[in-house]
Amino acid sequence: MNEGQNVRVTIQDVATNAGVSSGTVSRVLNNRPGVNAYTKGRVLDSMKRLGYRPDQAARELSFARNTTIGLHVAYGVGRLQPFFALFLSHLAAELRDSGLRFEEVGSLKNGLPDRLADGMVLFGAHDADPRIPYLREKKIPFVLLGHADGVSCVAADDIDGGRQAADHLIQLGHRNIVCILGGLHSQGEFDRLKGFQERLGASGIVLDEERILDGEFTSLGGYRAMRRALEAGCDATAVFAASDEMAIGAIAAAEDHGLRVPLSLSVVGFDDIEGIAGNRLTTVRQSIGDLAHHAVALLQDELSGTPSGKKVLPVQLVVRTSTARLRTSAPTATDP
């Protein structure tokens, strides 16, 4: 831009010139986390090249101190689950660091939020989620923890997590496998099962309905589901539970039944929640902190009018001592 030209350079001008979103420019201006050094350099170069000078109006576009973000939890999702408590803690910290105000939003009987904030984070994604068309109609920026067409959303790669869990058990020689779910109330749970079944099927292993144990998304739910199966004669050599809590419950039920984990039964969980997985549970790790971080970054882009779409975060199998190679003979008292 030529000197003397009487045209105000805006955040959007800088964003377009740097090839980034205006939300990213706002984060650079306010020295917020979430922008790598290369991208930050491009933004700063564009500011210098265009002669951009931030002022109060521009900073208001960063939404600091004037914007309230509401967290809404879908109907039927347990707030006492460790995963939710950890996400809530990380989300509150991310919003605080970004200068955004935070509040939890309750639900009406129809499952919709009982009030609206300037921006919303939707927890507990499920099919035909009524909150999505409702917030679109109200023109409220939001981010979904899950996935849906045409909305900004972030989720762990639950399908790949299910695949990794299946690959691990198959490589250990297990073919007689059961899966414990919390009732398929959430997208994440459904996707974990989908990936798990996909890999088993590719190896000629059928996970029919009798091998999908319905519990609750708690350690007690995992315990009850596994105990019912064992009392009914289940002879599985391996279990994949859709959460660490259910996996720990399944281990307790197996040991109460006289089985030794992992000698008689291998168990895999999901989440790698510190304090639950411990040093024992083989599980699929997802970063709850990264989920919260990207949810806030996506929501900032939504608030700035430049939504950046979908983010899928990688997961990683963590092998510990709750899984072992399938034995061709029953364990003895002298086995370690």
Domain with CATH 3.40.50.2300 in the chain: 68-156+287-313, 158-285
**Residue 5 in this model has a pLDDT that exceeds 50:** no
Is residue 81 exposed (0-12), middle (13-18) or buried (19+ Cβ within 10 Å)? Answer: middle
- CATH architecture of the domain covering 11-60: Orthogonal Bundle (1.10)
Token pair in block for residue 49? 């090249």
Return the CATH class of domain 158-285.
alpha beta
- C-alpha angle 67/73/75, rounded to 5°? 145
pTM, rounded to two decimals: 0.80
Whether 3 has a pLDDT exceeding 50, the answer reads no
- CA 163 – CA 253 distance, rounded (Å): 25
* pLDDT tops 60 at residue 61: no
CATH number of the structural domain 68-156+287-313: 3.40.50.2300
Percent of the chain with pLDDT over 90: 62
Q: Which of 293, 295, 290, 297 is nearest to 316 (CA)?
A: 290
DSSP state of 327: P
Q: Is the pLDDT of residue 261 over 90?
A: yes
Mean pLDDT of 19-31: 75
CB 96 within 8 A of CB 104: no
Q: Is the pLDDT of residue 286 over 70?
A: yes
92, pLDDT greater than 70:
yes
Which pLDDT value is given to residue 331?
Answer: 55
C-beta of residue 227 within 8 angstroms of C-beta of residue 192: no
As a whole number, mean pLDDT of residues 141-154 equals 94
Q: What does the alpha-carbon distance between residue 144 and residue 180 come to, in Å, rounded to a whole number?
A: 25
